[in-house]
Structure 1
Amino acid sequence: MALVTAAAPIQPVVEVDSAVAVSEAAKKALARAANATRRVGWFSFWSQLTLSVISAGILLFSAAFTSQNGPGVALYLTLFGVVAGLVSTFWTFGYTRLARRLRGYSLGGARGALRRVRKRDVLATLERGCWINVLGMAATLLGLQATVGLLVAKTLTNATANPFLAGGAGSYNPVLALDVFLVQASTNTLLSHFVALLGNLWLARVISANAEA
């Protein structure tokens, strides 16, 4: 009987210490995930906002002054990529709000806060962001291919019509400077989606490694 009473206090002490250790480890992991989400969210937001706004301005300028027969398929595809870039810009802004919620729990939030920010929900949000970037990149790549093909066709047509004057001083060049601006808008849009896609994939890796289910 004396043996039972002497051993009884040992079990609760071990359980309490283990629970505290797990709780502290989880809070530190959530703090790391929150810091990563905040940094990547702000970096992706400002990068995409700058590149998308510049691309939109170049695209509108090129559409207004380049084509006399109205915008072509390349312009529409590039425009879709720019719009997807703007959507992704505000999508990544939501990561900064998510980082605040993760930070709140890591500083000692209630157990219910963890259920409101579940790992599978965060990963689903990152997956949607990846799909936005993939669709935007796909449309922009198709638009860029069409634009480059049109520029090559113009160059070859001029070289065929004037084989001795092509490239010479004073020769007619059907490729306008505004046509090249459309290529610049496409490359800016591609860079915007690429930066956001890398950020989403890296965040998914960090969240999977540090956050609870």
Structure 2
Amino acid sequence: MTKSDAPTLREIASTFRFAGWFSFWFQLVLAIVSSVILLFASVSIRNPTANNPGTGVGVVLTICGIAILGFNMFWSLTKYVAIGRRLNAEPVARPKKSEAIQVIRIGLTASLIGTLVALLGTQTIVGLLAAKALSQGVGGFINVDPSKFIQPIDVFVVQASANVVLAQFVAISTSLWLLNKMGKQ
């Protein structure tokens, strides 16, 4: 790659701003959707942990994933967008390349931790749903306890957890895209 192929400072600044705003809004929408689903699930189920103690663990892990999304959204706005703005400023105010890369690495690390937490929550919930499905028997004739059947709200909780994983994936992708742009400079 020649020097002329490298992105200009203005292009990198624009990329940081775009990536920060895109990541923020995408994560915000999915975090709100997941939160509403979990809130609806907690209101709809009288005692969600009575029959499946692991469901509570899965929901708590999903809520932790949403909390990490909150940090990621904060990071996208206060760091990525801010770096994009500072790159267009006077040379004295511009961040060093090493500073920008460190900011990206922190965002990437937080996103990876959030993904792990959300995946653990998803796997816990899916595992419990599989156990419910297996305990139902054929057509529900073996088990007549309705609380042990898979309910529609159970599927919503899986969807909420999957949304958190997707939002974390977008944050990871954004960070890797920014690292790639910085590497070409």
Assess same fold via TM > 0.5.
Answer: yes
Counterpart check, 1:126 vs 2:104? yes
The answer for unaligned runs of 5 or more in structure 1 is 1-21
Alignment of 1:96-107 (within 5 A): 96-104=81-89
Match of 1:55 in 2: 34
Pick from 140, 144, 164 the counterpart of residue 122 of structure 2.
144
Q: CA deviation at 1:150?
A: 0.6
Checking the alignment, whether the CA contact within 8 Å between 1:42 and 1:96 is kept in structure 2 is: yes
Structure label with greater radius of gyration: 1
Shift >6 Å, 4+ stretches: none
Provide the rounded CA distance (Å) in 1 between the counterparts of 2:107 and 2:43.
Answer: 31
Matched, 1:80 2:64: yes
Q: Of 91, 101, 117, which aligns to 2:75?
A: 91
Residues 51-102 of structure 1 show CA distances to partners (whole Å, capped at 9, x for unaligned) of 0111111112223333053862111111111111111011111211211110
Partner residue in 2 for 1:202: 177
Provide the residue aligned with 2:153 in structure 1.
178
Post-superposition Cα deviations, 1:156-185, rounded to whole Å, max 9, x if no partner, equal 1111xxx3x339xxx957111111111010
Alignment TM-score, normalising by the size of structure 1:
0.74
RMSD: 2.2
1:39 aligns with 2:18: yes
CA distance in 1, matches of 2:30, 2:107: 17
Cα distance in structure 2, aligned partners of 1:68 and 1:76: 11
Query: Distance in 1 between the 2:8 and 2:49 partners?
Result: 58
Matched to 2:125, the amino acid is T
Q: Distance in 2 between matches of 1:53 and 1:132?
A: 19
Cα distance between partner residues in 1 of 2:85 and 2:177: 19
> Aligned AA for 1:180?
V
TM-score by length of 2: 0.84
How many Å separate the matches in 2 of 1:79 and 1:96?
A: 26
Give the secondary structure class of the aligned counterpart of 1:113: coil
Other-structure match for 1:166: 140
Q: d(CA) in 1 for partners of 2:115 and 2:42?
A: 20
Worse-matched range after superposition: 53-62 or 191-200: 53-62
- What is the identity, as a one-letter code, of the residue corresponding to 2:93? A
